[in-house]
Structure 1
Amino acid sequence: MSATVTSPPAAPPLAGAELALDGVRLGHPDGSALPGRLVLRVAPGEVLTVVGPSGCGKTTLLRTLAGLLPPLAGGVTQDGAPVRGPGADRALVFQHDALLPWRSVRANVELPLAIRGVDRAARRRDAEEWLERVGLAGHAARWPHQLSGGQRQRVQLARALAGRPRAVLMDEPFGALDAHTRTGMQDLLTRILDGTGATVVFVTHDVDEAVHLGDRIALLPSGRILDVPHPRDRAARDAPATAALRRRVLDSL
């Protein structure tokens, strides 16, 4: 990406949410259940990447954590309290940007603030600050169809974070991007999350992306957890420990 990303003063970071699954069986109310039960704790402020073959339940896991889909068995909690539905402090980011085409870029970023009842002047200010942070300060009045795929994903990221969520649930958000733009978005995400305090659960099919972004990696459907030796360190891509982890993840697929 050629845009320069700046970081204006931001509000103090919130504490990330602790997300936990206790003996959870993932599935849909129609009775289609995924095998096994998950026991998982995502620590406050952690970046947990999730990998696994198609159909193993990665998106279902995110929807369950978001409160959009109740577990078929077991319990889901945030900070020890049961998750019984969607909450404003848990934001979802999708592979396809899901921007509202009838709203300008600024208005899309303002949306979670408007839902919370933030006054117009404050939400406009916050939206413009977030657009500056993702390198789109000059694009506030544009429409989504006037942006590239990478730019739309940056708008979606700004919209998700503008509401200052304590947990961000990301479903292959960079999967449709070319390799160069994808790398730029990974670096942008790393820079921005560094100051938010948010907990992140990041689903991806890309093993290198999982190894680079995560503090830990969750392998589905087994629920096995692997520690990442050098989280978000580009210089450690070819380190022996990183290469060994990459082989372990590939062997699990």
Structure 2
Amino acid sequence: MHPKSTPGSDDVGGEERSQFLYRLSHPLGEHVVESAKSLPTPAAQIVFDLSHHPARIHAVEELRGKSGFLKLERLVVESYEREEYLLFSGFDDAGASLDQETMEKLFGCSGRVGGDTAIQAAEQQRLNAEAERHAKATVSRSLEQNSVHFNQAREKLEKWADDMVLAAEKALQDTKEQIKALRRQARQAVTLQEQHQIQEKIKKLEHTQRRQRQEIFKAEDDIVVKRDTLIESLERRLAQRTETETLFTIEWVVA
């Protein structure tokens, strides 16, 4: 996606500026994200201003005139796949907890640094406790989702295995029935020529029968291999490793 330039107003004065929108996978987008991640983020007070927001955000409007604390953590879950989550934890000065969506929308508003802040031990302890609870709940949901995927894969494998074996066994049974019918014909054959033709057919069908038995064994071997692969993927999911990183902790004020 090429950068798109759109006119806008500068925060100070009426000068126009250009805004460039990039996908996160765009080289410049990746550079901006990586640069931002490497910046130091000491505890600070952030004042969020709703007065210039283009649209009303009901959840954030309810915080106008209030303040509190929040922290943002990055949770990485390593199992069958790598999963990353950004988890907010926070509360206001009255002690009411904020939900993830409200805190996400809060950061959609303009803000400014109000200065450094000192987060007391009790406040930090509560933030840590809520962050730990959110992380555990997220990991639990991840396990549940992995369990759903595993069960779907297991059911798909079982259906495929049943279809494979049933198809092979049916083909073998059909061949057996044909051989039985030809043997009955052989007992009733009058001439040697007729007997010879029937025996040739039986010989070919017996060869087919041996091949079909081998195909059943091969199908069963394939099923075992696929089932082992599925079990290995389950073991990788069970051997889950998690990692958390605090990105920042702030005192927030909504003006």
Q: TM-score, normalising length from structure 2? A: 0.23
More strand by share: 2
Q: Which has the higher contact order (CA 8 A, sep 6+)?
A: 2
Q: TM-score, normalising length from structure 1? A: 0.23
From the CA coordinates, give the structure whose radius of gyration is larger. Answer: 2
